[in-house]
Chain A
Amino acid sequence: MKPITVLVSVDSNSVLLGAKEFFKYLNELIKEHNLDSIVDLLETGTIGNYNGVTIAIMPDNVFYNVKTKEDVFRIFEEHILKGRRVLDLEIEKEKLLNLTAEKLPKEFKIVTRNIGAINPKDIKEYIARDGYFALAKALQMKPEQIIEEIKNSGLRGRGGAGFPTGLKWELTFKTPADQKYIVCNADEGEPGTYKDRLIMEGDPHSVIEAMVIAGYAVGATKGYIYIRGEYYGSVENLRKAIKDAYEYGFLGKNILNSNFNFDLSIRLGAGAYVCGEETALLESLEGRAGRPRLKPPYPPQSGLFGKPTVINNVETLANIPPIILKGSEWFKSIGTESSPGTKVFCFAGNLSNRGIVELPMGVKVKDLLVLSGGVSGSDNLKMIQTGGIAGTFISSEKFDTPLDYDSHAKYGVSLGSGVILGINDTHCAVDIALNVMKFFMHESCGKCTPCREGTRTAVKILEKISRFEGTEKDLEELIEIANFAKDTALCGLGQSFSVPLLSLINNFKEEFLDHIENKNCIANLCKKPEPKKKKSKTVK
């Protein structure tokens, strides 16, 4: 054993904070000073400090909280070389223990209650876990009571916009019509989002049950599940579930002897992101190109075939049966005041544990990152995108933000569809922006000019910047395009590309300027068109 042992915490959280880099640097310092035979440098798990990377020096039993490379250098020079403690970086032992006791948020399953626990193709297993009990209860209630319960629960649309579900139902209920519809928006296409797929594959009956309840509440007798054409697995399970629900009398005529009739059918999308926008979805259901309608009128007033229509996201619907069974007070006790309940988050990109996790609203970004296992591979985390492709790009200074439907307005961090997309430091902000804008350009339906031309022009400008031919004026124009579309585009798609674009420009401005002024790309991804140009070595 060597006389000195140095331990560096390289758990997922520490890695996000630069542990790998610090480890490498410390190793270099040790080699430079020929201390290989004296100092043993080891990687270890979390030492119970969530505020920074921990470096422990044994046998002195001293723990340091490290945030920068300079801290590492000071510890090396002072403690390892000279044997003097660096007091201002030291963590008191008691504090270390307290921090270890700090708990991560626990999973709380409402939407995902049955996923992984039942066979989705067997209706009996769903019934065995209180399936269709909420429907039976709801059919004993007055429609107004159901709507009141959902309103009181504070449930907000989980597709991303966060509109109060109860209000949607009430508006539809109050609009007189000879026919009303319930539509489930299962056109999941927000990049990074795959929760609806997993809900439909894992627990299709919860969606069906909720739709029948919604139908009874607002007076609709027909429903559609509009699902992505590419989601073969979900379609298969839903088809089987609908067939079984008809057989068991949960769909069709005189449901559970209540005199209430409800028919449900699946319709497929055909590859158009814009059809996730509710009025475009209605156009598509009516057999046309998915081009959004002008709003108002809103779907609760005039929706499918001009009739009052409730359109709810898959995850929103999966919340309904538990709310009916357990009550709105129970639901309100979970999550935050303005956004009760849970959210299903999807981890994507350069993260270790990619998968879904359901947590109470208000969970902090950094806790989600710890649960995601942190950045995958040996690179460092550069930024994350929250909320989907139309969401915000943020770096570490905003990782303390609690996520709910107000966090975008309050902190500039969007919850959206619940995506946490990790991006490591081999990527460059300009290249990311280009990918995002190409997506919007491709998916723009072409109906309104700010979106059709705005996305196209933005792509051209970003390509110019990535070729190192951009100017500061180009950057200004990019900001102007984004703001203009935000104010003038027809639908949510066109209005929302400003969010990712502006957050990239605002939070990573120096990188855009680096391309413009210094003709330099820190990730070495952007290149001049001339093939002979020598690669410049990446700094830092």
Chain B
Amino acid sequence: MIDLKEIKEIVQETKKEALEEQDILIYTLHKILDKIENNYIPDEVAKIVSEELKIPLSKVYEVLTFYTMFSTKPRGKYIIRVCTSLPCHVVNGREIIQAIKEELKIDFGQTTNDGLFTLEESSCLGLCGVSPVIMINQDYFGDLTPEKVKEILRKIKGGEKI
């Protein structure tokens, strides 16, 4: 369950970092997202943000739907961001994507039935020194091979810390 009181506190806390009144929306949404298990911003939370920051709800939704790191629908516990840009594409990125799709039996934009993983396409993650690269939540994984990436996913499924 989402503790709405805690959300309000996060908004108030983040407000202190503002240099100008209107510079804090995206930053606040990031901080809230870190606290929500399913990696999304539910309606009731968006409303609180709108009220506390005095920003129209429509503007909050403009932001939530424009940026790929945000979502208005529940996502998996782990978000897998796969780089599909050229520096990863030319070093067998295609095979990595294939391996993940096979292992999780989902396509881009989908979540596994157990609610564990959401697979997302990402532009360059800025780790081209070790491409092909993926991110799982806040962790990076580089120099991947299909076997390596499958092993990482199996470990997470088995409840191992990564």
Residue A240 CB within 8 A of the other chain: no
Residue of B nearest to A350 (CB): B90
Q: Is the CB of A439 within 8 A of B85?
A: yes
Beta-carbon contacts of A409-437 to B below 8 Å, as 1s and 0s?
Answer: 00000000001011110010000100110
Contact A267 B90 (CB under 8 A): no
**B70 contacts the other chain (CB 8 A):** yes
23 contacts between A and B (CB under 8 A): A192-B85, A193-B126, A193-B128, A194-B129, A197-B126, A197-B127, A231-B126, A265-B19, A267-B26, A269-B67, A270-B26, A270-B29, A271-B123, A272-B68, A286-B22, A286-B23, A287-B22, A289-B63, A305-B20, A350-B90, A354-B130, A389-B124, A424-B90
Nearest A residue to B60, CB-CB? A287
Chain A 325-355 against B: per-residue CB contact (8 Å), 1 yes, 0 no? Answer: 0000000000000000000001111100011
Q: Which of B69, B85, B126 contacts A389 (CB 8 A)?
A: B85
The stretch from A56-64, A221-229, A460-468, A506-514 touching chain B is: A221-229
Q: What string of 1s and 0s marks CB contacts (under 8 Å) between A261-301 and chain B? A: 00101011111110000000000111111100000000000
| Residues on B with beta carbons closer than 8 Å to the beta carbon of A286 | 22-23
Q: Are A189 and B126 in contact (CB under 8 A)?
A: yes
* Docked pose: A385 CA to B87 CA in angstroms: 10
Bound CA–CA A289/B60 (angstroms): 9
A230 and B26 in contact, given A191-B86, A346-B128 (Cβ under 8 angstroms): no
B6 at the interface (CB under 8 A from A): no
Within 8 A of B (CB), among A424-461: 424, 427, 432, 435-436, 438-439, 442-443, 445
Select one of B68, B84, B87, B91 contacting A271, CB under 8 A.
Answer: B68
Any B CB within 8 A of the CB of A188: yes
Cα A191 to Cα B127 in complex, Å, equals 9
Residue A232 at the chain B interface, CB threshold 8 Å = yes
Q: Bound complex: CA of A429 vs CA of B70, how far in Å?
A: 34
Interface residue? B105 (CB, 8 A):
no
Task: Enumerate B69-123 residues with CB–CB distance to A below 8 Å.
Answer: 69-70, 81, 84-87, 89-91, 121-123
CB-defined contacts of B55 to chain A, threshold 8 Å: 287
**B124–chain A nearest beta-carbon distance, Å:** 4
Known contacts A189-B124, A189-B126, A194-B129, A270 near B86 by CB under 8 Å: no
Question: Cβ of B27: which chain A residues have Cβ within 8 Å of it?
Answer: 267-268
Q: Is the CB of B126 within 8 A of A188?
A: yes
CA distance A427 to B87 in the complex (A): 12
B89: chain A residues at CB < 8 Å are 435
Checking B26, B128, B131 against A287 with a beta-carbon cut-off of 8 angstroms, the contacting residue is: B26
Q: Provide the residues of chain A in CB contact with B17, threshold 8 Å.
A: 265
Enumerate chain A residues within 8 angstroms of B70, measured Cβ to Cβ. 270-271
Chain B contacts with A in 108-161, Cβ cutoff 8 A: 121-131, 135, 138
B62 near A272 with CB under 8 A, answer no
* A11: interface (CB < 8 Å): no
CA A267 to CA B29, docked complex, whole Å? 11
Cβ contacts under 8 Å, B122 to chain A: 230, 271
Interfacial chain B residues near A443, Cβ < 8 Å: 123
The answer for the CA separation of A355 and B85 in the assembled complex, in Å, is 17
The reply to whether A270 and B62 contact each other, CB–CB distance below 8 Å, is no
A288 CA to B22 CA in the complex, in Å? Answer: 10
Given A286-B23, A287-B22, A389-B85, check contact A271 B67 (CB 8 Å). Answer: yes
Give 12 new A-B contacts, CB below 8 A, not counting A419-B128, A445-B66.
A191-B85, A193-B126, A193-B128, A194-B128, A222-B20, A229-B30, A270-B69, A290-B67, A305-B20, A347-B129, A354-B131, A432-B86
User: In chain B between 21 and 35, which residues have their CB closer than 8 angstroms to a CB of chain A?
Assistant: 22-27, 29-30
Closest residue of chain A to B135 (Cβ to Cβ) is: A230
Residues in A whose Cβ lies below 8 Å from that of B66: 272, 289-290, 445
- What distance in Å separates the Cβ of B72 from its nearest Cβ neighbour in chain A? 13
Q: Is residue A190 within 8 Å, beta carbon to beta carbon, of the partner chain? A: yes
Contact A354 B68 (CB under 8 A): no
**CB closest chain-A residue, reference B26:** A270
B126 engages A421 (CB within 8 Å): no
How many positions in chain A have a CB within 8 Å of any CB in the partner chain? 57
Interface centre among A230, A305, A389 (most CB of B within 10 A): A230
CB contacts (< 8 Å) of B86 on chain A: these are 191-192, 349, 385, 389, 421, 432, 435-436, 439
Cβ contacts under 8 Å, B125 to chain A: 230
Given the complex, which residues of B lie within 8 Å of A231, measured CB to CB?
A: 126
> Is A192's CB under 8 angstroms from B128's CB?
yes
A438 contacts across to B, CB distance below 8 A: 84
What A residues does B26 contact at CB under 8 A? 267-270, 284, 287
Measured CB to CB, the closest approach of chain A to B157, in angstroms, equals 23
- A348 proximity list for chain B (CB < 8 A): 87, 128-129, 131
| Least CB separation from B20: chain A residue | A305
Q: Are B87 and A442 in contact, CB atoms less than 8 angstroms apart?
A: no
Most buried by B among A188, A197, A349: A349
Nearest A-chain residue to B83, judged by Cβ: A191
With contacts A224-B19, A289-B63 taken as known, whether A273 is within 8 angstroms of B123 at the C-beta atoms is yes
Q: In the complex the two chains form, is B23's CB within 8 Å of A287's CB?
A: yes
| Residue B59, interface by CB 8 Å | yes
Say how far A169's CB is from chain B's closest CB, in angstroms: 20
| A197 and B126 alpha carbons, distance in the complex (Å) | 7
- Alpha-carbon separation in the docked complex, A232 to B81 (Å): 14
Contact of A355 among B59, B69, B129 (CB under 8 A): B129
B87 close to A270 (CB less than 8 A): no
Find A423's partner among B23, B29, B90, B121 (CB 8 Å cutoff).
B90
Q: Are B19 and A222 in contact (CB under 8 A)?
A: yes
Q: Which residues of A contact B84 (CB under 8 A)?
A: 435, 438-439
Q: Contact: A349 with B19, CB < 8 Å?
A: no
Question: In the complex the two chains form, what is the Cα distance from A228 to B140 in whole Å?
Answer: 15
- Residues of A near B29 (CB, < 8 A) are 270
How far, in whole Å, are A494 and B152 apart by their CA atoms in the complex?
38
A302 → chain B closest CB, angstroms: 15
